[in-house]
Amino acid sequence: MRKLRMGMIGGGPGAFIGAVHRAAAAMDGMIELVCGSFSSQPEKSKKMGEELKLSPERIYGSYEEMIHKEAALPADVRMDFVSIVTPNHVHFGPAKTTLEAGFDVVMDKPMTFDLFEAKELKAIVEKTGRYLCLTHTYSGYPMIKEAREQVKKGALGKIRKVFVTYPQGWLSDFLETSDNKQASWRTDPSRSGIAGAMGDIGTHAFNLAEYVSGLQVKSLCAHINIVVKGRKLDDDGAVFLQFNNGATGLLVASQVLAGEENTLTIKVYGEKGGMEWSHADANSLLLKWPDQPMQVLRAGTGYLGDFAKHNTRTPAGHPEGFLEAFANHYRNFALCVGAKKDGISPKEEWLDFPNAYDGVRGMAFIENVIASGKSEQKWTQFTV
Protein backbone atom coordinates (compact mmCIF):
# COMPACT_ATOMS: atom_id res chain seq x y z
CA MET A 1 0.00 0.00 0.00
CA ARG A 2 1.32 3.40 -0.96
CA LYS A 3 0.94 6.55 1.10
CA LEU A 4 -2.56 7.99 0.77
CA ARG A 5 -3.14 11.57 -0.31
CA MET A 6 -5.55 13.58 1.81
CA GLY A 7 -7.52 16.72 1.06
CA MET A 8 -9.04 18.74 3.88
CA ILE A 9 -12.26 20.76 4.07
CA GLY A 10 -12.29 23.21 6.97
CA GLY A 11 -9.61 23.46 9.65
CA GLY A 12 -8.59 27.01 8.94
CA PRO A 13 -6.93 29.46 11.34
CA GLY A 14 -8.23 29.20 14.92
CA ALA A 15 -9.94 25.87 14.43
CA PHE A 16 -9.15 23.32 17.12
CA ILE A 17 -10.12 20.08 15.52
CA GLY A 18 -8.47 20.64 12.13
CA ALA A 19 -5.00 20.54 13.67
CA VAL A 20 -5.92 17.40 15.57
CA HIS A 21 -7.02 15.70 12.34
CA ARG A 22 -3.79 16.68 10.59
CA ALA A 23 -1.55 15.42 13.41
CA ALA A 24 -3.55 12.21 13.65
CA ALA A 25 -3.36 11.64 9.90
CA ALA A 26 0.38 12.31 9.81
CA MET A 27 1.46 10.23 12.76
CA ASP A 28 1.80 6.83 11.16
CA GLY A 29 3.42 7.84 7.90
CA MET A 30 0.55 6.42 5.86
CA ILE A 31 -1.18 9.64 4.88
CA GLU A 32 0.04 12.86 3.32
CA LEU A 33 -1.93 16.12 3.18
CA VAL A 34 -1.82 17.30 -0.42
CA CYS A 35 -4.62 19.82 -0.78
CA GLY A 36 -7.27 21.70 1.09
CA SER A 37 -10.15 24.11 1.19
CA PHE A 38 -9.61 25.33 4.71
CA SER A 39 -12.16 28.09 4.96
CA SER A 40 -15.20 29.46 3.24
CA GLN A 41 -13.15 32.65 2.93
CA PRO A 42 -10.56 32.03 0.15
CA GLU A 43 -8.03 34.39 1.79
CA LYS A 44 -8.07 32.37 4.97
CA SER A 45 -7.89 29.12 3.07
CA LYS A 46 -4.83 30.38 1.20
CA LYS A 47 -3.13 31.50 4.41
CA MET A 48 -3.68 28.12 6.06
CA GLY A 49 -2.52 26.18 3.03
CA GLU A 50 0.67 28.16 2.91
CA GLU A 51 1.30 27.61 6.56
CA LEU A 52 0.92 23.91 5.86
CA LYS A 53 3.44 24.17 2.96
CA LEU A 54 1.00 22.95 0.31
CA SER A 55 1.55 23.65 -3.36
CA PRO A 56 -0.27 26.91 -4.09
CA GLU A 57 -2.29 25.38 -6.92
CA ARG A 58 -3.76 22.84 -4.52
CA ILE A 59 -5.04 25.34 -2.03
CA TYR A 60 -8.64 25.87 -2.99
CA GLY A 61 -11.16 28.61 -2.36
CA SER A 62 -14.16 26.31 -1.92
CA TYR A 63 -14.74 22.65 -1.36
CA GLU A 64 -16.63 22.36 -4.61
CA GLU A 65 -13.60 23.70 -6.45
CA MET A 66 -11.31 21.32 -4.65
CA ILE A 67 -13.35 18.24 -5.39
CA HIS A 68 -13.88 19.23 -8.99
CA LYS A 69 -10.26 20.05 -9.74
CA GLU A 70 -8.77 17.17 -7.80
CA ALA A 71 -11.04 14.73 -9.61
CA ALA A 72 -9.58 16.02 -12.85
CA LEU A 73 -5.97 15.37 -11.83
CA PRO A 74 -4.11 12.24 -12.93
CA ALA A 75 -4.77 9.20 -10.74
CA ASP A 76 -1.24 9.17 -9.37
CA VAL A 77 -1.49 12.77 -8.23
CA ARG A 78 -5.01 13.46 -7.13
CA MET A 79 -6.14 13.12 -3.58
CA ASP A 80 -7.42 9.75 -2.35
CA PHE A 81 -9.81 10.92 0.31
CA VAL A 82 -11.18 13.99 2.04
CA SER A 83 -11.19 14.95 5.69
CA ILE A 84 -14.14 17.18 6.64
CA VAL A 85 -13.64 19.23 9.78
CA THR A 86 -16.16 22.03 9.40
CA PRO A 87 -18.98 22.96 11.79
CA ASN A 88 -22.00 20.70 11.71
CA HIS A 89 -24.08 22.64 9.21
CA VAL A 90 -21.32 22.21 6.63
CA HIS A 91 -20.97 18.44 6.99
CA PHE A 92 -23.57 17.01 4.68
CA GLY A 93 -22.86 19.06 1.57
CA PRO A 94 -19.13 18.41 1.41
CA ALA A 95 -19.57 14.75 2.33
CA LYS A 96 -22.18 14.12 -0.34
CA THR A 97 -20.17 15.90 -3.01
CA THR A 98 -16.99 14.09 -2.03
CA LEU A 99 -18.54 10.65 -1.98
CA GLU A 100 -20.34 11.16 -5.24
CA ALA A 101 -17.10 12.30 -6.86
CA GLY A 102 -15.61 8.94 -5.94
CA PHE A 103 -13.57 9.81 -2.90
CA ASP A 104 -13.67 8.24 0.55
CA VAL A 105 -14.42 10.46 3.53
CA VAL A 106 -13.26 11.07 7.09
CA MET A 107 -15.44 13.51 8.93
CA ASP A 108 -15.92 14.98 12.34
CA LYS A 109 -18.94 14.25 14.51
CA PRO A 110 -21.85 14.61 14.80
CA MET A 111 -22.26 13.35 11.27
CA THR A 112 -24.73 15.95 10.01
CA PHE A 113 -26.93 18.84 10.97
CA ASP A 114 -30.00 16.66 11.52
CA LEU A 115 -31.22 13.10 11.31
CA PHE A 116 -32.73 13.54 7.88
CA GLU A 117 -29.36 14.47 6.41
CA ALA A 118 -27.74 11.58 8.28
CA LYS A 119 -30.00 8.98 6.78
CA GLU A 120 -29.51 10.43 3.34
CA LEU A 121 -25.75 10.45 3.76
CA LYS A 122 -25.79 6.85 4.89
CA ALA A 123 -27.72 5.98 1.75
CA ILE A 124 -25.12 7.77 -0.37
CA VAL A 125 -22.33 5.85 1.35
CA GLU A 126 -24.09 2.61 0.58
CA LYS A 127 -24.80 3.57 -2.98
CA THR A 128 -21.28 4.76 -3.76
CA GLY A 129 -19.57 1.97 -1.87
CA ARG A 130 -17.13 4.43 -0.35
CA TYR A 131 -15.76 4.38 3.19
CA LEU A 132 -16.95 6.98 5.65
CA CYS A 133 -15.07 7.30 8.92
CA LEU A 134 -16.71 9.37 11.64
CA THR A 135 -14.16 10.50 14.22
CA HIS A 136 -15.71 9.51 17.52
CA THR A 137 -12.28 9.73 19.11
CA TYR A 138 -12.86 7.69 22.19
CA SER A 139 -13.57 4.39 20.50
CA GLY A 140 -10.06 4.72 19.09
CA TYR A 141 -8.42 4.17 22.47
CA PRO A 142 -6.85 0.72 22.78
CA MET A 143 -8.34 0.08 26.21
CA ILE A 144 -11.80 0.88 24.84
CA LYS A 145 -11.17 -1.73 22.17
CA GLU A 146 -10.25 -4.11 24.98
CA ALA A 147 -13.36 -3.15 26.95
CA ARG A 148 -15.51 -4.03 23.96
CA GLU A 149 -13.72 -7.34 23.53
CA GLN A 150 -14.13 -8.21 27.21
CA VAL A 151 -17.87 -7.65 26.92
CA LYS A 152 -18.06 -9.54 23.64
CA LYS A 153 -16.33 -12.59 25.04
CA GLY A 154 -18.65 -12.61 28.04
CA ALA A 155 -16.13 -11.80 30.77
CA LEU A 156 -18.73 -9.76 32.64
CA GLY A 157 -21.66 -12.07 31.93
CA LYS A 158 -24.93 -10.64 30.72
CA ILE A 159 -24.74 -6.84 30.81
CA ARG A 160 -27.03 -5.17 33.32
CA LYS A 161 -25.88 -1.57 33.65
CA VAL A 162 -24.06 0.99 31.50
CA PHE A 163 -22.97 4.36 32.93
CA VAL A 164 -21.31 6.93 30.73
CA THR A 165 -20.40 10.42 31.93
CA TYR A 166 -18.88 13.26 29.97
CA PRO A 167 -18.10 16.29 32.15
CA GLN A 168 -16.65 19.51 30.79
CA GLY A 169 -16.52 22.98 32.32
CA TRP A 170 -15.45 25.28 29.52
CA LEU A 171 -18.96 26.69 28.92
CA SER A 172 -19.56 27.61 32.58
CA ASP A 173 -19.55 31.26 31.59
CA PHE A 174 -21.42 32.96 28.77
CA LEU A 175 -18.73 32.93 26.09
CA GLU A 176 -21.07 33.41 23.14
CA THR A 177 -20.15 37.06 22.78
CA SER A 178 -16.45 36.52 23.44
CA ASP A 179 -14.01 35.84 20.61
CA ASN A 180 -13.96 32.13 21.45
CA LYS A 181 -14.56 30.60 18.03
CA GLN A 182 -15.40 27.21 19.49
CA ALA A 183 -18.01 28.60 21.87
CA SER A 184 -19.48 30.73 19.14
CA TRP A 185 -20.53 28.03 16.70
CA ARG A 186 -21.11 25.22 19.15
CA THR A 187 -23.81 27.23 20.95
CA ASP A 188 -25.44 28.52 17.77
CA PRO A 189 -28.50 26.54 16.57
CA SER A 190 -27.96 27.67 12.99
CA ARG A 191 -24.54 26.00 12.88
CA SER A 192 -24.75 23.27 15.54
CA GLY A 193 -28.27 22.01 15.07
CA ILE A 194 -30.92 21.44 17.72
CA ALA A 195 -28.51 20.30 20.43
CA GLY A 196 -25.59 21.90 22.26
CA ALA A 197 -23.84 19.72 24.83
CA MET A 198 -25.88 16.68 23.82
CA GLY A 199 -24.72 17.06 20.22
CA ASP A 200 -21.15 18.06 20.94
CA ILE A 201 -20.23 15.58 23.65
CA GLY A 202 -23.41 13.63 24.38
CA THR A 203 -23.04 11.91 21.02
CA HIS A 204 -19.52 10.82 21.98
CA ALA A 205 -20.87 9.36 25.20
CA PHE A 206 -23.76 7.67 23.41
CA ASN A 207 -21.44 6.19 20.79
CA LEU A 208 -19.12 4.88 23.47
CA ALA A 209 -21.97 3.29 25.41
CA GLU A 210 -23.25 1.39 22.37
CA TYR A 211 -19.77 0.56 21.09
CA VAL A 212 -18.46 -0.89 24.33
CA SER A 213 -21.63 -2.67 25.41
CA GLY A 214 -22.53 -3.94 21.96
CA LEU A 215 -26.10 -3.00 22.86
CA GLN A 216 -28.61 -0.57 21.39
CA VAL A 217 -30.60 2.04 23.26
CA LYS A 218 -34.29 1.43 22.76
CA SER A 219 -35.82 4.10 24.98
CA LEU A 220 -34.67 7.03 27.06
CA CYS A 221 -35.74 9.67 29.54
CA ALA A 222 -33.85 12.95 29.38
CA HIS A 223 -33.41 15.85 31.74
CA ILE A 224 -32.00 18.63 29.59
CA ASN A 225 -30.96 22.03 30.90
CA ILE A 226 -29.74 25.40 29.80
CA VAL A 227 -27.78 26.43 32.84
CA VAL A 228 -26.06 29.61 31.65
CA LYS A 229 -28.47 32.44 31.19
CA GLY A 230 -28.91 33.63 27.61
CA ARG A 231 -27.59 30.46 26.03
CA LYS A 232 -29.65 29.13 23.14
CA LEU A 233 -28.81 25.43 23.32
CA ASP A 234 -28.59 22.87 26.11
CA ASP A 235 -25.33 22.96 28.05
CA ASP A 236 -26.14 20.20 30.54
CA GLY A 237 -28.15 17.04 30.74
CA ALA A 238 -28.66 13.55 32.06
CA VAL A 239 -30.44 10.64 30.44
CA PHE A 240 -31.82 7.35 31.69
CA LEU A 241 -31.28 4.60 29.14
CA GLN A 242 -32.96 1.29 28.39
CA PHE A 243 -31.13 -1.14 26.15
CA ASN A 244 -32.37 -3.83 23.82
CA ASN A 245 -31.19 -6.68 26.09
CA GLY A 246 -33.02 -5.35 29.14
CA ALA A 247 -30.04 -3.56 30.62
CA THR A 248 -30.47 -0.02 31.86
CA GLY A 249 -28.08 2.85 32.10
CA LEU A 250 -27.31 6.48 32.49
CA LEU A 251 -25.68 9.10 30.30
CA VAL A 252 -24.47 12.43 31.64
CA ALA A 253 -23.09 15.20 29.44
CA SER A 254 -22.45 18.69 30.67
CA GLN A 255 -20.29 21.61 29.66
CA VAL A 256 -20.97 23.75 32.73
CA LEU A 257 -19.23 21.69 35.40
CA ALA A 258 -16.77 24.41 36.34
CA GLY A 259 -13.27 23.03 36.82
CA GLU A 260 -13.81 19.85 34.82
CA GLU A 261 -11.65 19.23 31.78
CA ASN A 262 -12.69 16.33 29.60
CA THR A 263 -12.88 13.19 31.72
CA LEU A 264 -15.22 10.96 29.78
CA THR A 265 -15.81 7.81 31.85
CA ILE A 266 -17.62 4.57 31.16
CA LYS A 267 -18.61 1.84 33.60
CA VAL A 268 -20.29 -1.38 32.57
CA TYR A 269 -21.62 -4.06 34.91
CA GLY A 270 -22.72 -7.56 34.15
CA GLU A 271 -23.85 -10.51 36.18
CA LYS A 272 -20.27 -11.57 36.84
CA GLY A 273 -18.30 -8.37 37.21
CA GLY A 274 -17.77 -4.74 36.38
CA MET A 275 -15.51 -2.68 34.18
CA GLU A 276 -14.34 0.93 34.29
CA TRP A 277 -12.44 3.16 31.91
CA SER A 278 -11.72 6.83 32.36
CA HIS A 279 -10.15 9.26 29.97
CA ALA A 280 -8.08 10.52 32.90
CA ASP A 281 -6.21 7.21 32.91
CA ALA A 282 -6.79 6.20 29.33
CA ASN A 283 -4.16 3.46 29.20
CA SER A 284 -5.77 1.41 31.94
CA LEU A 285 -8.94 -0.68 32.07
CA LEU A 286 -10.26 -1.82 35.43
CA LEU A 287 -11.99 -5.16 35.78
CA LYS A 288 -13.80 -5.57 39.06
CA TRP A 289 -14.86 -8.89 40.49
CA PRO A 290 -17.08 -9.78 43.43
CA ASP A 291 -14.78 -12.44 44.85
CA GLN A 292 -11.39 -11.71 43.33
CA PRO A 293 -9.00 -8.77 43.36
CA MET A 294 -9.65 -6.00 40.90
CA GLN A 295 -7.47 -6.26 37.80
CA VAL A 296 -5.85 -3.35 36.04
CA LEU A 297 -5.29 -4.10 32.37
CA ARG A 298 -2.76 -1.86 30.67
CA ALA A 299 -2.21 -0.77 27.09
CA GLY A 300 0.86 -2.16 25.42
CA THR A 301 0.88 -5.47 27.30
CA GLY A 302 0.95 -8.93 25.83
CA TYR A 303 -2.22 -10.24 27.47
CA LEU A 304 -4.63 -7.93 25.62
CA GLY A 305 -6.87 -8.92 22.76
CA ASP A 306 -6.17 -8.40 19.06
CA PHE A 307 -8.07 -5.14 18.75
CA ALA A 308 -6.24 -3.42 21.57
CA LYS A 309 -2.90 -4.65 20.29
CA HIS A 310 -3.57 -3.53 16.76
CA ASN A 311 -4.33 -0.03 18.01
CA THR A 312 -1.19 0.50 20.09
CA ARG A 313 2.20 1.83 19.01
CA THR A 314 4.33 1.71 22.14
CA PRO A 315 5.07 -0.79 24.92
CA ALA A 316 3.34 -0.69 28.30
CA GLY A 317 4.28 2.32 30.36
CA HIS A 318 4.79 4.58 27.35
CA PRO A 319 1.45 6.39 27.40
CA GLU A 320 -0.46 7.07 24.21
CA GLY A 321 -3.07 9.79 24.30
CA PHE A 322 -5.76 11.66 22.47
CA LEU A 323 -3.88 12.13 19.20
CA GLU A 324 -2.98 8.45 19.07
CA ALA A 325 -6.62 7.45 19.64
CA PHE A 326 -7.59 9.78 16.84
CA ALA A 327 -4.79 8.43 14.70
CA ASN A 328 -6.10 4.92 15.18
CA HIS A 329 -9.26 5.82 13.31
CA TYR A 330 -7.22 7.39 10.51
CA ARG A 331 -4.91 4.40 10.34
CA ASN A 332 -7.73 1.88 10.20
CA PHE A 333 -9.56 3.95 7.62
CA ALA A 334 -6.35 4.24 5.57
CA LEU A 335 -5.74 0.50 5.81
CA CYS A 336 -9.22 -0.12 4.43
CA VAL A 337 -8.93 2.46 1.65
CA GLY A 338 -5.49 1.11 0.79
CA ALA A 339 -6.75 -2.45 0.80
CA LYS A 340 -9.51 -1.50 -1.61
CA LYS A 341 -6.94 0.12 -3.92
CA ASP A 342 -4.73 -2.95 -3.62
CA GLY A 343 -7.68 -5.24 -4.18
CA ILE A 344 -7.28 -7.10 -0.94
CA SER A 345 -9.77 -7.79 1.85
CA PRO A 346 -9.61 -5.59 4.92
CA LYS A 347 -9.05 -7.30 8.25
CA GLU A 348 -11.74 -7.12 10.91
CA GLU A 349 -9.49 -4.85 13.04
CA TRP A 350 -9.15 -2.39 10.14
CA LEU A 351 -12.90 -2.07 9.64
CA ASP A 352 -13.29 -1.15 13.29
CA PHE A 353 -13.87 2.61 12.96
CA PRO A 354 -17.11 4.58 13.45
CA ASN A 355 -19.07 4.77 10.22
CA ALA A 356 -22.30 6.06 8.72
CA TYR A 357 -24.34 3.61 10.77
CA ASP A 358 -22.91 5.14 13.94
CA GLY A 359 -23.51 8.55 12.45
CA VAL A 360 -27.20 7.85 12.00
CA ARG A 361 -27.45 6.45 15.53
CA GLY A 362 -25.79 9.58 16.87
CA MET A 363 -28.12 11.93 15.02
CA ALA A 364 -31.08 9.86 16.17
CA PHE A 365 -29.78 10.19 19.70
CA ILE A 366 -29.79 13.97 19.35
CA GLU A 367 -33.35 14.06 18.07
CA ASN A 368 -34.65 11.60 20.65
CA VAL A 369 -32.87 13.12 23.58
CA ILE A 370 -34.00 16.64 22.81
CA ALA A 371 -37.56 15.40 22.26
CA SER A 372 -37.51 13.55 25.54
CA GLY A 373 -36.10 16.60 27.28
CA LYS A 374 -39.18 18.50 26.24
CA SER A 375 -41.64 15.76 27.06
CA GLU A 376 -43.55 15.45 30.30
CA GLN A 377 -43.79 11.73 29.79
CA LYS A 378 -41.05 9.78 31.43
CA TRP A 379 -40.05 7.50 28.57
CA THR A 380 -39.48 8.19 24.91
CA GLN A 381 -39.01 5.39 22.39
CA PHE A 382 -35.69 5.65 20.58
CA THR A 383 -36.65 6.00 16.93
CA VAL A 384 -34.38 6.34 13.92
DSSP string, 203-242: HHHHHHHHHHH---EEEEEEEEE--STT-SS--EEEEEEE
Nearest CB to a copy of itself, comparing residues 22 and 91: 22
Stretch of 73-81, 87-95, 185-193, 314-322 lying at the interface with a copy of itself (CB under 8 A): 314-322
Considering only residues 122, 231, 279, 310, which one is a binding residue for a copy of itself as defined by CB under 8 A? 279
Phi, psi of 163 (to 5 degrees): -115, 130
Stretch of 119-127, 194-202, 348-356, 372-380 lying at the interface with a copy of itself (CB under 8 A): 372-380
In the complex, what is the shortest distance from the CB of residue 57 to a copy of itself, in angstroms, rounded to a whole number?
17
In the complex, what is the shortest distance from the CB of residue 115 to a copy of itself, in angstroms, rounded to a whole number?
23
Name the residue among 41, 54, 53 with its Cα closest to residue 15.
41
Q: Does 272 bind a copy of itself (CB under 8 A)?
A: yes
Stretch of 59-67, 93-101, 260-268, 339-347 lying at the interface with a copy of itself (CB under 8 A): 260-268
User: Which amino acid, residue 343?
Assistant: G
Q: Does 180 bind a copy of itself (CB under 8 A)?
A: no
Considering only residues 99, 118, 297, 363, which one is a binding residue for a copy of itself as defined by CB under 8 A? 297
Q: Which of residues 46-85 bind a copy of itself (CB under 8 A)?
A: 52-53
Q: Does 35 bind a copy of itself (CB under 8 A)?
A: no
**Whole-number Cα distances in Å, 286 to 205, 272, 367:** 18, 14, 33
Q: Which of residues 324-343 bind a copy of itself (CB under 8 A)?
A: 324
DSSP string, 13-36: TT-SHHHHHHHHHHTTSSEEEEEE
Collect contacts of 86-90 with beta carbons under 8 A, ≥24 apart.
86/9, 86/10, 87/10, 87/185, 87/186, 87/191, 87/192, 88/112, 88/113, 88/191, 88/192, 88/193, 88/199, 89/113, 89/190, 89/191, 89/192, 89/193, 90/9, 90/10, 90/40
Stretch of 82-90, 195-203, 307-315, 355-363 lying at the interface with a copy of itself (CB under 8 A): 307-315
Considering only residues 6, 8, 20, 336, which one is a binding residue for a copy of itself as defined by CB under 8 A? 20
Q: Does 98 bind a copy of itself (CB under 8 A)?
A: no
- Taking the C-alpha atoms of 37, 26, 346 and 137 in order, what is their torsion angle to the nearest 10 degrees? -80
Size of the site for a copy of itself (CB under 8 A): 88
Q: Does 206 bind a copy of itself (CB under 8 A)?
A: no
Q: Which of residues 129-158 bind a copy of itself (CB under 8 A)?
A: 156-157
Q: Does 260 bind a copy of itself (CB under 8 A)?
A: yes
The residues near 77 (Cβ < 8 Å, ≥ 6 apart) are: 5
Nearest CB to a copy of itself, comparing residues 95 and 208: 208
In the complex, what is the shortest distance from the CB of residue 200 to a copy of itself, in angstroms, rounded to a whole number?
14
Considering only residues 101, 301, 340, 347, which one is a binding residue for a copy of itself as defined by CB under 8 A? 301
Q: Does 28 bind a copy of itself (CB under 8 A)?
A: yes
DSSP string, 136-166: -GGGGSHHHHHHHHHHHTTTT-SEEEEEEEE
DSSP structure class, residue 287: E
